[in-house]
Structure 1
Amino acid sequence: MDYTPKQGFPYYYELAKEDDVQSMFSSTPTLTLLKTINEENANYRYASDKWSIKQIIGHITDHERIKMFRAFQLSRKEKVQLWGYDQDFLVMNSRFDELSKQILLTDYINIRKASLSFIETLSPEQLKIKGIATEREISLEEFLKTIIGHERHHLNIVKEKYLNKK
């Protein structure tokens, strides 16, 4: 049986491979959904060892912040390993649960605007530049798609595990 973990590349890429990069970063389904969640529900965890919705918002923002810097490096042909990071460590050492949902959404919006601004500067040739992610060679365009795929992954979890509670 072929087992594909529900994280990392190629899983995140599969969630976004069909779409245009600029359109994906311009689209707002995550923001639209998160705006419907009130402050009390943003603190909800479906299990004691799981992140709150606030922590998920912060994690999605951190992920994009980290990955976009790596995308920038790759776009300039810097030979970088498009490595992962310790997401649990970063969330554990954040203040996400202390912050209001609105502050977290404002940060998310600002990071997305910066990402879109960067993407708009890329040429078709730059989108073809190759780098290494988890021992796989991928293009900058594929790498950018994994950022949205990662977000879609977490949005699916929020819908399935957090908003369908009761």
Structure 2
Amino acid sequence: MKYTPQDGFSYYFNLVGDVDCRSLFSSPSTLKFLKSIDEEKAAYRYASDKWSIKQVLGHITDHERIKMFRAFLLSRNESVELWGYDQEALVANSRFEELTWKQLVTDFENVRKASVSFVESLSQNQLKIKGKARQNEVTLEDFLKSIIGHEIHHVNSIKDKYFNH
């Protein structure tokens, strides 16, 4: 079965495959790809109503910040539903277009370092804690994997839609 982004967790899980979350967060592939993009290309939009690459990266970074906070709460057995957010509003109210590509990549890198530190601190028992995310009951490990699946989705989108025009 082929999943789409509208399928949510199933789609993101499919993108990461059967890889443990520590390896996913430690992979340098996204950062290496981002560092290969120059300032001019980062400002590119493949359509007037679509985000620039800068905005896509800002969104990826925002997403990780938000989801890692929720993962932290879940890891501490805080009874919380892992709610959604309005990505369009967050991007619209950001300064991504004003920042340099280097600033945005550095921000992503710093957020990722914090995420790696957190993920590496988790026990196997913590990774098995379950929480509710929309209609799905997911383990903390699967929730963390979905963060990387989301990132992979957007990196693939950049490669397909922004570089193959």
TM-score (norm 1): 0.95
Stretch deviating more after TM superposition (155-164 or 12-21): 12-21
Three-state SS of the structure 1 residue aligned to 2:137 is strand
- Find the counterpart in structure 1 of residue 117 from structure 2: 117
What is aligned with 2:25?
A: 25
- Alignment root-mean-square deviation, CA: 1.2
1:28 CA displacement:
1.5
Please give the secondary structure, in 1, of the residue aligned with 2:132: strand
Local SS of the residue matching 1:10: helix
Counterpart code for 1:22: R
Letter in 2 for 1:37: I
How many Å separate the matches in 2 of 1:58 and 1:108?
A: 8
Describe the superposition over 1:60-109 as per-residue Cα deviations: whole angstroms up to 9, x where unpaired: 00000000000000000011111110001000000001100000011000
Residue in 1 that maps onto 2:102: 102
CA displacement 1:47-71 (0-9 Å, x = unmatched): 0010000001100000000000000
- C-alpha deviation, 1:145, in angstroms: 0.1
1:145 aligns to what? 145
Task: Measure how far apart 1:3 and its partner are.
Answer: 7.9
Q: Which runs of 5+ in 2 are unaligned?
A: none
- Partner SS for 1:142: helix
CA distance in structure 2 between the partners assigned to 1:28 and 1:56 by the alignment: 18
Q: Secondary structure at the match of 1:15?
A: helix
Q: Residue 39 of structure 2 aligns with which residue?
A: 39
Residue number in structure 2 paired with 1:62: 62
- Structure 1 segments of 4+ aligned residues over 3 angstroms from their partners: 2-5
Task: Output the CA distance in 2 between the equivalents of 1:109 and 1:22.
Answer: 16
- SS at 2:16's partner residue? coil
Q: Which residue of 2 aligns with 1:155?
A: 155
Q: How far apart are the structure 2 equivalents of 1:78 and 1:37?
A: 39
Q: Distance in 2 between matches of 1:4 and 1:26?
A: 25
Aligned residues: 164
Contact 1:67 1:147 in 2 (8 A): yes
Identity between Structure 1 and Structure 2 (%): 63
**2:50 alignment counterpart:** 50
Map residues 11-22 of structure 1 onto 2, 5 A cutoff.
Answer: 11-22=11-22
Q: Displacement, 1:10?
A: 1.9
TM-score, normalised by the number of residues in structure 2: 0.96
Unaligned runs of 5+ in 1: none
The aligned counterpart of 1:5 is 4
Instruction: Report the alpha carbon displacement of residue 4 of structure 1 after superposing the two structures with TM.
Output: 4.2
